[in-house]
Structure 1
Amino acid sequence: MLVDGFGRRHTSLRISVTDRCNLRCTYCMPAVTPKYQAKSLLLTYEEIIRFTRVAVDLGVDDVRVTGGEPLVRADLDHLIAMLAQVLDPSRISLTTNGVLLLQQLPRLTEAGLRSVNVSLDALDESSFEHSTRRRGLSMVLDSIHAAVDAGMKVKVNAIAKRDFTESQLAAFGHFANRTKLPVRFIEYMPLDADGNWDPANVLSGSEILRRLSEHFGPLRPLPRREGAPAVDYKIESGGGTIGIVASVTEPFCQACNRIRLTADGKIRNCLFGDDSGDVRSLLRSGANDQAIADLLKSAVAAKKRGHGSDDLVFVRPSRPMYSIGG
């Protein structure tokens, strides 16, 4: 029911609950604490649930909770429990940097969370600190192991940034083989707060595959799941799985099924676009659910064919990643 002008059906909703983060990753956050949104401008959990109900009625069947870092928002388990009353808990997931996951894991699992994506760009403390401007690798690794022990479906996401990620590839390959957890490399995108992104800084998915093949031998491509951003490969020599999200060098816009709700209540029909609808205003002005549904359908209908980051006339998004939601 949420179909754009190019026939793409939108069934996946990314919900950002905060623009705050406890790390300062160089490809996302500024080095100094930014001016965050005032609490009063953020959607309440009840407002998020109301919007989600409308979206589900329009065909959305998959929800991922994001940030910033979603676990810095108080009582996130309450939102997870509320979402689990709206759609199948197996279709609810969380993207986190993992620093706070271990301490909140019991409440999150009790609330119904069954799937987490952990953002982790390095497997040695020095490189981790270089990327995040903070320490905490051991906490992230402990969180990953605890989530696995708790029966969570866990994926690990790593940035693919030239002159940094190359040194991590072998370690992540061994990690994937040892843990059997899927590791996905996401090409560095023009969403950094410092505005330093340059195409030359992107470590392409094809180069990652070449380097991994040189180290581990052949990587076998796996069937691509419908709507999935990653192309997965099996490491034949060890059985681990590596995913490539080539959003810059090989855009997969033709298969995009995602819409986003920012923490301050804006619809985003494309990660690289502009805000395309103000939900908060409707929610707080007494509008009925039909008005919200109409806004959502209009935002999806206005979606462009592609995001254009590989085009010479590409204009950087007005917001950095932390204020949009991954």
Structure 2
Amino acid sequence: MRILQLNFEKGWRGGERQTLYCMQAFRRAGHAVELLTRAGGQMAERARAEGFAVHEVRRAPAQLAWLARHGRRYDIIHAQTANTLTWAVLAKPLHRAKVAFSRRTSFTVRPGEQWKTGWKWRHADLIVAVSDMAAGEPRRLGLAPVVIRSAVEPRAIDQANVQALVAEFGLQGKRVLATSAALIQDKDPLTLIRAVALLAGQRQDFVFLHFGGGGNREQAARELVAASGLQQVYHLAGFRRGVEDFYSIMDVFVMASEEEALGSSVLDAFLLRVPVVSTDAGGLRESVGEGRGCLVPVGDHQALAAGMARMLDDAAYRAQAVEKAYAYVRSEHDVTQMGRRYLAQFERLLGQ
């Protein structure tokens, strides 16, 4: 098969990593894989470093013209974001390739946008949802998405990167709790900060690192850290290259999300046997449930603080959760298996 991946995001987050995983899995299975992406972005840089053919355009609408001119080269055009799906289906009468779309969000489609979103989804030949939660809205609109969960794979830890972080934040002798999430409402950083403040009132043996930045709650988060007197405890560490390395020194990984289609960052924690405390938002319930971590209600900072304390102090509880989580991630979120599931669906489309 000739497969074109579409991803036009500026930065490097979970969806971009999953795009690269798909590309690698498809190539290992013997298929020709290329990428259409934002000029000068991290997606282009990383895919090119892996030896993929990368096509770059500077503005999102330019994808439409590119697909109209070149789309006929491909059997499958795989849109990894809602934005790229727009251009893929608009150009479909010209490129005539099968269009697949991976839905990685769980938001509810607003009534005024249902016609537009529904139109896009219905013109896709395949909708893949990364969790049952992400599949909910397409199902509500009468569609039949296929659930293929995101993947994660082991990687070598860059110890120099880790040691630089340890030195920067003075982590020696401290237990490390952390999250990796943008400072946006959906991730609810304010509840997380309140939970850490409550925990810090009970013990002084830890620091909290918040990887990720930007968004509509960044200023409020900074103000709450200062108002809570947490400047030496709660560190807004920003975006970091190689953030996966830092799981190797974490004692607990925490998610405070209000909305989450999957929460792929918890999969990294599972893979490196880091215990997880999380809200039960959307897809997090699917990942962290069944004893694979500690689940607490959304918005409940007291329960979140209690969950972190238990993970730090209850060795038997922690060990049981970690082993269940590791077994789960290796069986359900393997990159090769994810690739095979996608390819089976692509072959089905072409067979039609």
Same fold (TM over 0.5): no
Structure with higher Rg: it is: 2
Structure with bigger RCO (C-alpha 8 Å, 6+ apart): 1
More helix by share: 2
What TM-score does the superposition give when structure 2 sets the normalisation length?
0.29
What TM-score does the superposition give when structure 1 sets the normalisation length?
0.31
